[in-house]
Amino acid sequence: MTDRMFEERQHAALYQKYRFDPPDQLKELIIQYLDKKKGKPFQLALDLGCGTGQTSRVLAPYFQQVVGIDVSESQVAEAKAIKGFPNLTYRVGTAEELPFPDGSVDLLTASSAAHWFDKEGFIKEAQRVLKPRGCLALFGYGDDMTMYHESCGEQLNHIYEDLKQELLPYTSTRVNVANTKLKDLFEAIPFPDKERIEHIPIKQQLSVKSIVGFMETFSMYQAYLRADPSAATALLERTTSRILKDIKASSTETKVDFILDYFCVFACKPE
């Protein structure tokens, strides 16, 4: 059963605008893992729960063909609107039912998405479509993100903690699966050759506007917005003004250090 949390066009538009590309360090880890375990040629990668295509586009230069798959038509429509990747296509579909032959896929990725999949259905389908020595790379980040600006790092984190508290009633249990860094899913993968990297901290400088925009993409924020639009809007306004006050800035273009702690589950199908 698939959770349908990402259907709205306005949510998909926010995704295109504010979600991050996978960082270079993580992309290198994935490509090196596939190279070490299976080796070239890299013919087909499927990016499952592709959203608006951030990971699909990053994979495109390394593969003959990349297909992004997402259950949400709105997300796929936004992804398709970005042109310039002739070997990249998108399909509406689910990670539990992949329209590809047995043993045809080199790499399956899921970025901030595998926690939404049905564990058994997805694993069965991954086993079927992967080539021998084909690989899985399931990555994302938990909810421990850190914001710093000069001397007021702690205050900024309190602002984020307050936002999380207010969104708690709207947080799907699926999000908690991501916060465990996919521990259960990792344990359920039947391939003996697998590993789970729990901490890949990535630091970037982001404007206050981008950080608050990123928060706006959270499924729990969108659930809050549906339930109580004025309270949800006020929460983001309050979050923005608290950050600006603490960093003593007036413009939302002001940059803040932002650290996301990624994780990655790797697995390689036996011969």
Interface residue list for ligand SAM (CB under 6 A): 2, 6, 19, 48-51, 54-55, 69-72, 75, 94-96, 111-113, 116-117
Q: Spell out the alpha helix ranges (H) of the chain.
A: 9-18, 24-37, 54-59, 73-80, 119-129, 153-167, 173-179, 183-188, 208-217, 219-227, 229-246
Shortest distance (Å) from residue 59 CB to ligand SAM: 11
Alpha-carbon dihedral angle through residues 226, 50, 141, 43, given to the nearest 10 degrees = 180
Shortest distance (Å) from residue 144 CB to ligand SAM: 17
| 96 vs 216 by CB, closer to ligand SAM | 96
| 21 vs 28 by CB, closer to ligand SAM | 21
| 68 vs 134 by CB, closer to ligand SAM | 68
Alpha-carbon dihedral angle through residues 190, 191, 196, 202, given to the nearest 10 degrees = -120
Shortest distance (Å) from residue 71 CB to ligand SAM: 4
Report angle CA 262, 203, 18 to the nearest 5 degrees.
Answer: 75
DSSP 182: T
Q: Which token pair is 199?
A: 């901490």
| 5 vs 259 by CB, closer to ligand SAM | 5
Q: Give the residue nearest to ligand SAM (CB).
A: 51
Shortest distance (Å) from residue 36 CB to ligand SAM: 24
CB 244 within 8 A of CB 207: no
- Separation CA 269–CA 206 (nearest Å): 38
| 152 vs 218 by CB, closer to ligand SAM | 218
Q: Given the structure tokens 């789970």, which residue do they identify?
A: 196
| 71 vs 177 by CB, closer to ligand SAM | 71
Shortest distance (Å) from residue 47 CB to ligand SAM: 7
Q: Is 259 helix (H, G, I), strand (E, B) or coil?
A: strand
Shortest distance (Å) from residue 151 CB to ligand SAM: 32
Q: Given the structure tokens 């908690």, which residue do they identify?
A: 176
CA distances from residue 37 to 28, 31, 33, 45, 135 in whole angstroms, order as listed: 14, 10, 6, 15, 8
